[in-house]
Structure formats: structure tokens, C-alpha cells
Amino acid sequence: MGMIISPTRELSSQIYHVAQPFFSTVQNLKSILLVGGLDIRTDIRKIENEGANILVGTPGKLHDIMERLDVLDFRSLEILILDEADRLLDLGFQKQLTYIISRLPKLRRTGLFSATQTEAVDELSKAGLRNPVKVEVRVEAKALGDMASTQELACSRTPLGLHIEYMVCEAQNKLFYLVDFISRNMSKKIIVYFMTCACVDYWGVILPQLIALKGCPIIPLHGRMKQIAREKALASFTNLSSGVLLCTDVAARGLDIPGVDWILQYDPPQDPNVFIHRVGRTARIGRQGSAIVFLLPKEDAYVEFLCLRRVPLKERESLDVAFDIVPQVRSAAKEDRDVMEKGIKAFVSYIRAYKEHHCSYIFRWKELEIGKLAMGYGLLQIPLMPEVKHHSLSIDGFSPVDDIDLTQIKYKDKARERHRLKILQSKQAEVPKQNRAKKIPDDNVAITRKKTGRQRRATQTKEDEEELENEYRLLKKLKRGLIDETEYEKLTGFGNLEEGSSESNSRGSGTELSTGSKSKRAKTKRGKNAKNTERSRARKNKKGSKTRV
């Protein structure tokens, strides 16, 4: 029994289908593909009814299956293969992998496969493997028959058949160079990499509408697409003799797409380790291939960084911008609200992904020229973003479309447009109701709000502290002789207290003698103790007490 784990659905599917001819030569050997995006109940029924000796899948789906099916017996498992092991750890599958490995027997053969050997993979091999052996596969230098080629091979992490270039260009001109490059290589098979899924969605809608690319097959592929759509897109591009695949890093590792001539990186990857995997989709198994990456002027230090990592690049001269494509993009956005919204999402997602770049000392997002970038995306207006508002990114180079109301742009899809109008009308109907519910406050009328118990206690405590501080200051003035006792009693309110007591006694003169005597004694007692009470308050306030005397 064996298990093969890979980080993506596409790679797992490729491994499964490539291995079928080999599995068929062994009797009583059954394999099953377990990847996300498909109903898990179907997979469980298939395992229960047919059984399987070889499990091929992604960590998430395998973990889910193993948790749900306690009847699975892995005691006879002999081989565990982790393909693209470094990527498995980078994507946060460590928890699932730990669980899966804990269910497997310790006496087994384990293989870690990757084009990039990271520290995490080395640590995993040391901790999880017994007697690990490292095997490196390289192109044989003898077949090249050239001493210079042999030296070049020794100092490079990429195959000799791969020619990598870079082009430095402004953000607003990147689209022109992309369209110009594709139009000059219409007979080639090209993969174009973008930073985010939203960017793939947007350019997958825009590029087929451009005049220069009419008739060119352009296929988008990213991780947020439904599984059926992903499989269909990959199969379509694989079967093409020429065309363009727009994708994210979901198609950067392990995929063996035959006949790829060019790799174009419209956006450099967030993780520099992915750069090698991207360009590795061409020049496979001794074939020739080419790659190019677009860099902004402030990103040129990335070239030296890659050279230090033994990935040599040569500069490609940029051509003069012959025509402006932005008007075509803006025209498409004006005609269809879906295009406009996709452009805004792509723009926002790119900036936020740029902030999370692993090489933040090279890709400094606070130096990003957001105005030129927005022009390159063909936006009608720059969207409101915290990054723009709080960090004052440069919006120079952006020319907004004047005299346009974005709320009036309609969807080409009539059903979506009807739904949008319905929501818009309901919002407009709620506005008058809200205005009627709101009362205009009168400056002469005090508006009181019901306070919570905590707020009332906090207010009372503050008032008590202020009153004690005031009485303490007056007491100090009395001691220094700055005020007399009459003025002190008046300012502290004790004079009013004594007057009130006198009135009480005069009103109650007709009562019994005992009652009058008690009132008189109480009055005298209050008068005697007034100063003592204030002194006590002052002492307690000085100690920091918050309890009112």
C-alpha cells in the first residue's frame, strides 16, 4: 500500500493519470484520486465499495477522509511520497501532515521530492526520516560538450536550455508590453503569471476584447475557480498547440504541460522560491525554453537578488510605446459594470498582495506609484482605500475620467442589472424613512441619553473627586487666612445647610419640646462637626480615597 501527497489539485490529478499505465501492470493494484472540490460522500462510497491500494491526493482531503473513515487500515502501508515537500509546508499543511503521518506505520519508505530544498524540508527529513539519503538530479554536463557550458551549469540552479530575461518598465506601460509580446508570439504557447486570483479574472476578461489579440486563445486558471472549471481550463490549454494561459501560482509547481515556449511573469511572485518553479514550466527534460519577468524601476534590485540565488537573468530592451491600450480598457469598463468591478478588485488585491511580499526590502509598497498603476489597470477612478488615505501613496500619473457617474454604469447581463436596480431602489426608498426618523436637535433643549450603570458610576465618581478637591483647596485657604469661616461655609454649602436647619426648627416650634430639643442638638452637632468633617474629607482625598464622606 502507498500514499502520494501533493499541494495542489492539478498536480495530484496529473500524478494520478501519469501513474495509471504503471499501476495497470501490477495485479490487484487499485488507486484512487482524492482532491478537494468534489463531494466527499462520493469518495467515501468509492473507497468502501471498491477499496484502494494507492491513495493520491491533497493533504486537506486525505486528512478529512482519514478522520471520517476509521475503518481504513494503514498497517500495511510501505511507501509515503511527499511531492513538492517545501510547498506543502509553506501552504500551512503541517497540521494535516502531522495527523496523516501519525496514522501511518513508522517502518516505511518515505520520499520528499522538490526542485527547491528549503530549511523546512531539511528539518523535516532529519526529524521524520530514518537514515535519510539526499539525491540531486542534474543535466549531465558531458552531453553539452562545452567547458563554458559546464561552468555555467555548475553556478546555475536553472537548466541550460532555459533563457531568462527581465524588462524594466513603468506600471502604466506593462499592459502595452504584454499585449505587444503576445501579439508577436501568436504561434507560441505562453503562460502568464499574475499575483492574485482577482488579477487573473480581470485580465482574462480584458485581453480577449483587445483588438491586437483578437482570435488568440486566452484561458484563465486560478485557485478560486470551481474544480470542474479548473480541470477544464487546464485540459484545454494542454491540448492547444498555441495559446495563452493566465494563472496564479496554482500552476507554478510540478505541472508538466507539453510544448510551453514562453513563461511571462507579469507580476514577480511574493515568494522568491516560486520564481524557479514558474520558469520551470518550460525547458523541461532537456528542451529549450524562454522566460521573461516585468519589473518596475524601483524593483531592479530583484535581478541582483536572483543572481545571488544562482538564477542568472539578462536584460531585455524595452520598446517605445507605439499605441495606448488604456482607452480600450476604459471603454470596456464603461460598457459593462462587471468589467469595472473586476478591475477595482484586481487593483485592490494587487496592492494588498504587494504589501505581503517576502522581499519587502526590494518590493517596498509605500514607494509604489499608485497613480501609474491605476492607469495600467485602466481604472476610471482610483478607489478609496486605507492604503491611499493613510499612507499618501503617489497618485501622480493618473488621469481620471471626468463627467462620469459610476452608479449609472450598467451590467451587460440583464438579470444582474435588474437585480442591481432593485437593490438601488430599495436603498433609495430607505433614505426618506431614515430622514423622517431623525429629529433635528434644538440647541436650547438638552438631549439626555440613558446611561449604563458603569457610565453612571464613572460620572458620579468623577464628580465626587472634583468636589473633594475643591473643598480641600478651600480648606487650605481657610488655614492660611485667605478666607474667613463665613465665606468658607458659603462656598462649601454648609451655610445653606444651617439656614435650612433653622427654617425647620422655626416651622416645628409648635411640636413637643423633646422634638425641638433633638433638632436643636442635631443642628449644634452638625455645626461643631462641619470643620472636622471637612478635615477628614481632605485627609482621605489626599490619600487617594474615592469614597465620599
CA distance 79 to 109: 5
Which residue did the predictor score with more confidence, 538 or 290? 290
Which residue did the predictor score with more confidence, 194 or 391? 194
List, for residues 116-131, the tens digit of each pLDDT value: 666 666 766 665 677 8
Domain chopping of the chain, boundaries: 2-128, 154-315, 326-406, 407-435, 468-505+515-549
Q: Work out the percent of the chain whose per-residue pLDDT is above 70.
A: 78
CA distance 159 to 152: 10
Eight-class DSSP state of 131: S
Q: Would you say 373 and 366 are in contact if contact means Cβ atoms under 8 Å apart?
A: no
Q: Assess whether pLDDT exceeds 70 at residue 13.
A: yes
129-138, 175-184, 239-248, 437-446 — which is least confidently predicted?
437-446
- What pLDDT score does 461 carry? 76
- What pLDDT score does 86 carry? 77
Three-state secondary structure readout of 465-528? HHHHHHHHHHHHHHHHCCCCHHHHHHHHCHHHHHHHHHHHHHHCCCCCHHHHHHHHHHHHHHHH
- What pLDDT score does 433 carry? 64
- What pLDDT score does 528 carry? 45
Instruction: Supply angle C-alpha 189, 192, 193, rounded to 5.
Output: 145
Query: What residues are paired with 163 via a beta bridge?
Result: 290
Range from 108-117, 351-360, 441-450, 512-521 that averages highest in pLDDT: 351-360
Half-sphere exposure of 486 (CA within 13 A, CB side): 0
Residues 134-157, mean pLDDT to the nearest whole number: 59
Q: Assess whether pLDDT exceeds 60 at residue 522.
A: no
Q: Got the DSSP string for 397-422?
A: T--PPPS--GGGPPPSSHHHHHHHHH
Pick the CATH number of 154-315 from 3.40.50.620, 3.40.50.300, 3.10.450.50, 3.30.70.260: 3.40.50.300
64-73, 91-100, 154-163 — which is least confidently predicted?
154-163
Q: Assess whether pLDDT exceeds 50 at residue 502.
A: no
Residues 152-177, mean pLDDT to the nearest whole number: 85
Query: 78: which 3 cell numbers?
Result: 510501505
352-361, 495-504, 510-519, 537-546 — which is least confidently predicted?
510-519
Nearest residue to 290 (alpha-carbon basis) of 280, 300, 302, 299: 280
Half-sphere exposure of 296 (CA within 13 A, CB side): 18
Q: Assess whether pLDDT exceeds 80 at residue 399.
A: yes
Q: Would you say 5 and 81 are in contact if contact means Cβ atoms under 8 Å apart?
A: yes
List, for residues 371-397, the tens digit of each pLDDT value: 999 999 999 999 988 877 766 667 888
Please identify which residue in the block is written with the cell numbers 496523516. 100
Residues 173-193, mean pLDDT to the nearest whole number: 96
- What pLDDT score does 54 carry? 95
pTM, full prediction: 0.70
Nearest residue to 82 (alpha-carbon basis) of 43, 55, 44: 55
Backbone φ and ψ of 134, nearest 5°: -95, 130
Binned at pLDDT 50, 70 and 90, residue 58 comes out as very high
Q: Residue 509: left if φ>0, alpha if ψ -120 to 50, beta else—which one?
A: alpha
Judge if 2-128 and 154-315 fold alike in CATH terms: yes
- What pLDDT score does 146 carry? 54
- What pLDDT score does 507 carry? 45
- What pLDDT score does 237 carry? 96
Q: Would you say 410 and 417 are in contact if contact means Cβ atoms under 8 Å apart?
A: yes
Q: In what order do the strands lie in the sheet with 31-34?
A: 31-34, 54-57, 2-5, 79-83, 109-113
Q: Would you say 213 and 207 are in contact if contact means Cβ atoms under 8 Å apart?
A: yes
List, for residues 210-248, the tens digit of each pLDDT value: 999 999 999 999 999 998 999 999 999 999 999 999 999
Q: Would you say 32 and 46 are in contact if contact means Cβ atoms under 8 Å apart?
A: yes
Q: Would you say 120 and 86 are in contact if contact means Cβ atoms under 8 Å apart?
A: yes
- What pLDDT score does 510 carry? 44
Residues 524-536, mean pLDDT to the nearest whole number: 50
The CATH architecture of the domain made up of 2-128 is 3-Layer(aba) Sandwich (3.40)
Eight-class DSSP state of 5: E
- What pLDDT score does 21 carry? 93
Q: Assess whether pLDDT exceeds 50 at residue 514.
A: no
Residues 346-351, mean pLDDT to the nearest whole number: 96
Binned at pLDDT 50, 70 and 90, residue 465 comes out as confident
CA distance 57 to 143: 37
Range from 89-93, 281-285, 307-311, 527-531 that averages highest in pLDDT: 307-311
268-272, 373-377, 495-499 — which is least confidently predicted?
495-499
Rg (CA), the chain: 38
- What pLDDT score does 509 carry? 44
List, for residues 36-57, the tens digit of each pLDDT value: 888 888 898 888 888 899 999 9
Which residue did the predictor score with more confidence, 517 or 435? 435
Q: Assess whether pLDDT exceeds 50 at residue 523.
A: no
Q: Would you say 155 and 310 are in contact if contact means Cβ atoms under 8 Å apart?
A: yes
Q: Would you say 112 and 86 are in contact if contact means Cβ atoms under 8 Å apart?
A: no
Q: Assess whether pLDDT exceeds 90 at residue 198.
A: yes
Encode burial over 333-371: b for 16+ CB neighbours within 10 A, e otherwise: bbebbbbbebbbbbbebbbbbbeebebeebbebeebbbb
Segments of 38-144 assigned E as strands: 54-57, 79-83, 109-113
Q: Got the DSSP string for 169-200?
A: --GGGHHHHHHHHHHHTTTSEEEEE-SSHHHH
Eight-class DSSP state of 245: E
CA distance 354 to 360: 9
